[in-house]
Amino acid sequence: MAGGKRTPEERARKRAHDLVGLYWHITTYVIVNAFLWGLDWVTGGGLEWAFWITIMWGIGLLFHIAAYLIDDSRFEDRAYERFLAEERERETSVLDDQSVEG
């Protein structure tokens, strides 16, 4: 419900949903990377390629964490309000111009 006023219940539900998504991402990251590191060690005799997967996926995970902490919904709401005010002002000025001409 971007741009509208959200109820406290809606905001709480969204935050809980986002947090659960973040926990799933972290859990998947740890489990899959542990498996890949083990596989890399067993098959290659050392750690050769799993390191790079962990680093790249870790960067993505950091962006996910940052997005959760920043809570872009508040940013989106502020941007919506600003753009709506600009559009209303533009519409008002067009109507004023038309009334002067007519």
Q: Which domain holds residue 77?
A: 8-101
pLDDT at 5: 72
Q: Which amino acid is at 30?
A: V
Domain presence at residue 2? no
Write the pLDDT tens digit of every residue in 43-95: 987 778 999 999 999 999 999 999 888 876 677 778 888 888 888 888 888 76
CA 80, CA 61: separation in Å to the nearest integer?
A: 27
Residue 38 placed within a domain: yes
The values of phi and psi at residue 47, to 5°, are -105, 105
Per-residue model confidence (pLDDT) at position 102: 58
Provide the number of structural domains found in the chain: 1
Written as six digits, the tokens of 87 are: 């559009």
Give the tens place of pLDDT for each residue, 9-32.
887 898 899 999 999 999 999 999
- The C-alpha atoms of residue 85 and residue 20 are separated, in whole angstroms, by 35
Residue 3 covered by a domain? no
User: pLDDT-based confidence at 1, cuts 50/70/90?
Assistant: very low
The verdict on residue 92 lying in a domain is yes
